Amino acid sequence: MKQRIGFLGLGQMGRPMVRNLLRAGFSVTGFDPQPHAAESLQGEAGFSVATSAVAAAEGVDVLILMLPSSPVIDDLLWKQGLASGMKAGQLILDMSSSDPVCSRDNAARLATLGIHFVDAPVSGGVKRAVDGSLAIMMGGEAVDIDTVRPALQAMGKTLVHVGSAGAGHAVKALNNYVSASGLLAVCEALVAAQKFGIDPHLVNQVFNASTGKNNTTEHKVESFMLSEAFNSGFALGLMRKDLQTAQSFIERMGSPDTFAQVCLSTWTAAEQSLAPGADHTAMYQYVRQQS
Ligand code: NAD
């Protein structure tokens, strides 16, 4: 018997992840407060819509969270009655990019109710959510990770158990710090080169054949930045949140965070200056405006 899954957060990432669970034969009950979020999933075999987050958790084996942030999750769990409405033996699988310290605290609090917790944030963006090839970093007890492994395998390709509860979220935030700083460096380099009269397409071509190559030069510059499409499906505000998580994590660990602070302040300024909901690749637009 396949597990019954509840799924909270049917946004850019949640919808394709649900589709891959359904394709793998899981039954999924979804909830999202946005009235149209579940529309494209209606009618898919095995999918049903719940009227609230608490209702989506009723009777399921695993409740997956693909939500914006830890404050949203804490509010749901401890103020909206999600945790108290769940039964001992159920498992919460937090695949959002959450704060590692909050997740570790939540895991301990949920354990006192007999509710299991695994954090399994993802990397790869909407494209890899659609084709089921996400990279997934997992934190939690090995036995709980074994419980959710089949569901994770339906959504991702590379699964790495990185440590205890919260460790997945720590690695995710740190990954996005490295990714966001790489993207910012590329924007600054391209804009300066252009001002010198060099074609930015050629600059990126050289980067991709040289040591400056990174995920941005390979997958974002042509498709989303130089094309002016700015529609990768990952909001700039979410990237800023991840950077904030990473910077405060590094600071709490007592490690040097000079570069993380500068990076965070630039992404924060970009978020304040660009239109609400701007894509993270619009950082290029922001850097160009500043130059
Ligand atoms: P999104 O904004 O498209 O989707 C989030 C959804 O959560 C929205 O539909 C929102 O209505 C819903 N939501 C908010 N409060 C809720 C509640 N109380 N109950 C149920 N649903 C609720 O965001 P996304 O891009 O899908 O990202 C989701 C998470 O995945 C974030 O933590 C993000 O940082 C992370 N992430 C995103 C990407 C990406 O490329 N988009 C990649 C990796 C990780």
Domain with residue 30: its CATH number is: 3.40.50.720
pLDDT of residue 235: 98
Ligand 1 mean position, distance from CA 199 (Å): 36
User: Which residue has the CA at smallest separation from atom 41 of ligand 1?
Assistant: 234
pLDDT tens digit string along 47-63?
999 999 999 999 999 99
Angle at 121 between CA 258 and CA 271, to 5 degrees: 50
Q: How many domains does the chain have?
A: 2
Q: Give the containing element (helix H, strand E) for 134.
A: strand 134-139
Does residue 30 sit in the same domain as residue 91?
yes
Does residue 26 sit in the same domain as residue 146?
yes
pLDDT tens digit string along 73-128?
999 999 999 999 999 999 999 999 999 999 999 999 999 999 999 999 999 999 99
Report the pLDDT averaged over residues 12-25. Answer: 98
Does residue 155 sit in the same domain as residue 176?
no
Does residue 110 sit in the same domain as residue 244?
no
- Active site residues per annotation: 172
- Among 115, 139, 163, the domain-final residue is 163
User: Which residue has the CA at smallest separation from atom 1 of ligand 1?
Assistant: 11
User: Which residue has the CA at smallest separation from atom 25 of ligand 1?
Assistant: 12
- Among 143, 163, 183, the domain-final residue is 163
Does residue 155 sit in the same domain as residue 56?
yes
Q: How far apart are CA 95 and CA 180, in angstroms?
A: 20
Identify the band that residue 1 occupies on the pLDDT scale cut at 50, 70 and 90: confident
Give residue 175's domain range.
170-290
Does residue 155 sit in the same domain as residue 175?
no
Does residue 189 sit in the same domain as residue 155?
no
Q: Is the CB of 30 under 6 A from ligand 1?
A: no
Which CATH number covers residue 246? 1.10.1040.10
Q: How far apart are CA 93 and CA 95, in angstroms?
A: 6
pLDDT of residue 255: 98
Output 35 or 66, whichever has higher pLDDT.
66
For residue 31, pLDDT over 80 is answered with yes
Does residue 41 sit in the same domain as residue 153?
yes
Residue type, 180: A
Q: Is the CB of 37 under 6 A from ligand 1?
A: yes
Does residue 125 sit in the same domain as residue 179?
no
Q: Is the CB of 238 under 6 A from ligand 1?
A: yes
- Among 135, 163, 191, the domain-final residue is 163
pLDDT of residue 127: 95
Q: What is the percent of the chain with per-residue pLDDT over 70, rounded to a whole number?
A: 100
Question: Ligand 1 pocket check: which of 8, 32, 179 to mutate, most ligand atoms within 8 Å of Cβ?
Answer: 32
The answer to whether 156 touches 252, Cβ cutoff 8 Å, is no
Report the pLDDT averaged over residues 259-285. Answer: 98
Does residue 154 sit in the same domain as residue 200?
no
Does residue 84 sit in the same domain as residue 54?
yes
pLDDT tens digit string along 136-179?
999 999 999 999 999 999 999 999 999 999 999 999 999 999 99
pLDDT of residue 30: 98
User: Which residue has the CA at smallest separation from atom 11 of ligand 1?
Assistant: 34
Does residue 25 sit in the same domain as residue 128?
yes
